[in-house]
């Protein structure tokens, strides 16, 4: 297996294709990771959530990390890591255009609100869910990809048959 670096363009293309990844945030030296959908545009990843732990943590510490991948086999994969800064697109005049733009981007996916609202059903509170639109501004992006050797290609083909 050969591992090589992906270009910035290849990393961005993977993020755009995949549209979901794992969001890492941290508070008081405690990391927390959850899967999340996003829409990649330029140097930004736009996300939708309802108020819960990850939003509370990112409000307190806006330094976040997102990882996304495409794994065909253990010898054939691509993985992208983004470091970035959380910015909440508040429901106010200042952020109105950016929020509208984010919702237009989200609308390209069916039932884009479902993951966020469904998550609220298990929270133990009496109030209505509080929607949150946010953006991760990418500050650094890296990607690695693995390609199988000839023998590993044959092994993958054999394993897929069975």
Helix, strand counts (H, E) of the chain? 5, 8
Torsion on CA atoms 147, 149, 154, 159, rounded to nearest 10:
-50
Which segment (34-42, 75-83, 144-152, 153-161) binds ligand FAD by CB under 6 A? 34-42
Place of tokens 């755009």: 16
Token couple for 35: 């899967």
Does 119 sit near ligand FAD (CB under 6 A)?
yes
CA angle at 143 for the pair 3 and 161, rounded to the nearest 5°: 55
| Cβ distance to ligand FAD smaller for residue 20 or 77 | 20
| Cβ distance to ligand FAD smaller for residue 1 or 16 | 16
Least distance in Å: CB of 100 to ligand FAD? 18
Which is nearest to 39 in space by CA: 138, 143, 135, 141?
135
Does 86 sit near ligand FAD (CB under 6 A)?
no
Question: 96-115 mask for ligand FAD (x: CB under 6 A)?
Answer: -------------------x
Which segment (7-15, 52-60, 63-71, 74-82) binds ligand FAD by CB under 6 A? 52-60
Concatenate the DSSP letters of all residues of 99-144 into one string: HHHHHHHHTTSTTTTHHHHHHHTTS--SSPP-EEEEEEEEEEEEEE
Task: Please pick, from the candidates 11, 24, 54, 80, the single residue that binds ligand FAD as defined by CB under 6 A.
Answer: 54
Q: Give the binding site for ligand FAD (CB under 6 A).
A: 20, 34-37, 47-50, 52-54, 115-116, 119, 123
């Amino acid at each position: 297996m050969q591992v090589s670096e992906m270009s910035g363009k290849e990393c961005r293309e993977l993020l755009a294709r995949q549209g979901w990844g794992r969001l890492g945030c941290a508070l008081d030296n405690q990391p927390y990771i959850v899967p999340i959908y996003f829409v990649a545009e330029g140097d930004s990843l736009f996300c939708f959530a309802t108020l819960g732990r990850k939003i509370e943590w990112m409000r307190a510490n806006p330094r976040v990390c997102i990882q996304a991948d495409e794994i065909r086999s253990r010898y054939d994969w691509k993985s992208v890591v983004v470091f970035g800064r959380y910015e909440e697109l508040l429901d106010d005049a200042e952020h109105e255009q950016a929020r509208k733009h984010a919702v237009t981007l989200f609308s390209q996916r069916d039932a884009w609100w479902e993951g966020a609202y469904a998550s609220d059903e298990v929270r133990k509170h009496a109030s209505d869910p509080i929607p949150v639109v946010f953006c991760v501004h990418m500050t650094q992006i890296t990607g690695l990809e693995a390609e199988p050797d000839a023998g590993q290609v044959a092994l993958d083909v054999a394993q897929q048959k069975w």
